[in-house]
């Protein structure tokens, strides 16, 4: 028994959107321990949809469709499924009235094309959509085959999955033995260097250990098969501990941990506060820090000093240092950090000034050059130079800058100033 995710939408084939639904559903299936070996993306095309159905219904027993349930003429998923199993579509009164009610509530009139969403194959159950007008279906068109359909809008799909699909699947006896994974996250070490350090673990079968790099972050996934999470954790823990020991400070957290949440926890434990001063990241570091709720325990705020005027007037950076060393320099980074620390009276302060590109680079100061300043509780300050590489994209350089600033603070918090 295995599931297969089938995402329908020409916008996916044209690359207009990222397939975030496939990722989210994959995580859910892994959590339920429902094996899942294939994902397919196909366009809003009735013939190719049926070809995919023909293949998928042979190799998988649960087909999870997302997309193509909308009100517009190019939404064809339901129609294609009904056609493939030669079952007529039937308008469902309860869906019609539900759609009408939803439009009324938002003081809008139902448009004719919304009625299309009330058609489901005969014999299919309605998979209710509390957040939207397009319901899905749960249907067994034949022995050992279950089809679930969801709209492409992530928030609608997720709620439908959690409220209706999960209980249904468990009820069918699926998701009994679980696969539970822990994702170990590292910073400051390359993928193959880490792989070399821990390669002995790659031969294990339960738990399994698998490495990969993701967005400038190196990760190891430790996965165990077990009857429940407690048993799985007991299998994972000893291996995870040995890996953490081998990685030392380069290991920073696991699973939902982010550099921001880890630094936040350390600050909370220490009862210390943080402020930031940002130039090229323009608020990205602050946004990263406040990405996890509860940041108000330690994050006071900061200043986006995008222009030199603001660096001078708000952070007390000396006009001279800008003229002598340039806005992108260790000296300016340091005085930005000291400036915001003093202004917001925090224990720690981080600053970022750099050249994120695509323009603005020079022979001597290339795109990707970033200085990060860290001001410490004892009012000592350090400036660190980073060269993220001219070939990198602006957004990635800005992202790496914020991560590196947080990692710098993390190491200081761990080893003491």
Hey, which residues between 103 and 142 contact a second copy (CB under 8 A)? 108, 111-114, 131, 133
Does 152 participate in binding a second copy (rule CB under 8 A)?
Answer: yes
CA 299 to each of CA 275, 285, 322, 383, 386: distance values in angstroms, whole numbers, following the listed order: 6, 11, 28, 21, 24
Bridge partners of residue 225, in order along the sequence: 179
Does 295 participate in binding a second copy (rule CB under 8 A)?
Answer: yes
Site for a second copy in 329-388 (CB under 8 A): 343-344, 356-360
231 neighbors 206 (Cβ within 8 angstroms): no
Q: Which stretch binds a second copy (CB under 8 A): 85-93, 231-239, 241-249, 301-309?
A: 301-309
Does 167 participate in binding a second copy (rule CB under 8 A)?
Answer: no
Q: Which stretch binds a second copy (CB under 8 A): 66-74, 83-91, 229-237, 376-384?
A: 66-74
Site for a second copy in 36-65 (CB under 8 A): 36-45, 48, 51-52, 55, 59
202/325 Cα distance (integer angstroms): 49
CB atoms within 10 A of CB 228: 11
- From 90, 102, 225, 394, residue interacting with a second copy (rule: CB under 8 A): 394
CB atoms within 10 A of CB 390: 14
Nearer to a second copy, 218 or 413 (CB): 218
CA 244 to each of CA 184, 225, 238: distance values in angstroms, whole numbers, following the listed order: 8, 21, 10
Taking the complex as a whole, the smallest distance from the CB of residue 183 to a second copy amounts, in Å, to 6
272/240 Cα distance (integer angstroms): 29
Structure letter (DSSP) for residue 327 = S
Does 8 participate in binding a second copy (rule CB under 8 A)?
Answer: no
> Radius of gyration (Cα) for the chain, nearest Å?
26
Does 280 participate in binding a second copy (rule CB under 8 A)?
Answer: yes
Site for a second copy in 68-97 (CB under 8 A): 70-74
Does 230 participate in binding a second copy (rule CB under 8 A)?
Answer: no
Does 411 participate in binding a second copy (rule CB under 8 A)?
Answer: no
Q: b vs e for 52-69, b when ≥16 Cβ sit within 10 Å of the residue's Cβ?
A: bbeebbeebbbbbbbbbb
Taking the complex as a whole, the smallest distance from the CB of residue 122 to a second copy amounts, in Å, to 26
Nearer to a second copy, 139 or 184 (CB): 184
Does 264 participate in binding a second copy (rule CB under 8 A)?
Answer: no
CB atoms within 10 A of CB 246: 14
Taking the complex as a whole, the smallest distance from the CB of residue 416 to a second copy amounts, in Å, to 26
């Amino acid at each position: 028994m295995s599931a297969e995710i089938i995402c329908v939408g020409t916008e996916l084939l044209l690359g207009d959107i990222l397939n975030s639904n496939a990722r989210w559903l994959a995580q859910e299936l892994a959590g339920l321990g429902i094996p899942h070996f294939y994902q397919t993306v196909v366009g809003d095309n009735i013939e190719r949809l049926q070809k995919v159905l023909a293949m998928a219904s042979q190799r998988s027993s649960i087909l999870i469709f997302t997309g193509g349930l909308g009100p517009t003429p190019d939404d064809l998923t339901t129609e294609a499924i009904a056609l493939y199993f030669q079952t007529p579509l039937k308008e469902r009164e309860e869906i019609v009235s539900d759609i009408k009610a939803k439009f009324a509530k938002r003081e809008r009139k139902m448009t004719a094309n919304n009625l299309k969403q009330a058609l489901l194959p005969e014999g299919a159950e309605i998979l209710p959509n509390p957040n939207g007008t397009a319901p899905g279906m749960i249907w067994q068109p034949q022995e050992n085959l279950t089809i679930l359909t969801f709209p492409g809008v992530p928030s609608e799909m997720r709620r439908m999955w959690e409220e209706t699909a999960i209980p249904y699947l468990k009820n069918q006896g699926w998701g009994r033995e679980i696969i539970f994974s822990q994702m170990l996250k590292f910073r400051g070490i390359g993928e193959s260097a880490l792989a070399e350090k821990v390669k002995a673990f790659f031969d294990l079968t339960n738990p399994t250990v698998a490495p990969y790099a993701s967005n400038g972050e190196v990760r190891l996934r430790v996965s165990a098969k077990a009857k429940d999470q407690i048993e799985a954790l007991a299998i994972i823990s000893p291996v995870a501990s040995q890996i953490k020991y081998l990685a030392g400070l380069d290991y920073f957290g696991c699973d939902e941990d982010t550099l921001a949440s880890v630094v936040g926890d350390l600050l909370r434990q220490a009862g210390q506060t943080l402020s930031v001063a940002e130039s090229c990241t323009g608020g990205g570091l602050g946004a990263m820090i406040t990405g996890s709720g509860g940041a108000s325990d330690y994050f006071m705020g900061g200043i986006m000093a995008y222009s030199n005027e603001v660096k001078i007037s708000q952070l007390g950076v000396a006009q001279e240092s800008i003229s002598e060393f340039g806005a992108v320099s260790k000296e300016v980074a340091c005085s930005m950090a000291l400036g915001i620390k003093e202004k917001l009276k925090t224990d720690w302060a981080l600053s970022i000034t750099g050249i994120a590109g695509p323009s603005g680079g020079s022979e001597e100061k290339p795109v990707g050059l970033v200085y990060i300043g860290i001001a410490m509780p004892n009012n000592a300050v350090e400036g660190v130079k980073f060269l993220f590489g001219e070939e990198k994209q602006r957004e990635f350089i800005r992202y790496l800058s914020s991560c590196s600033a947080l990692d710098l603070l993390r190491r200081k918090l761990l080893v003491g100033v």
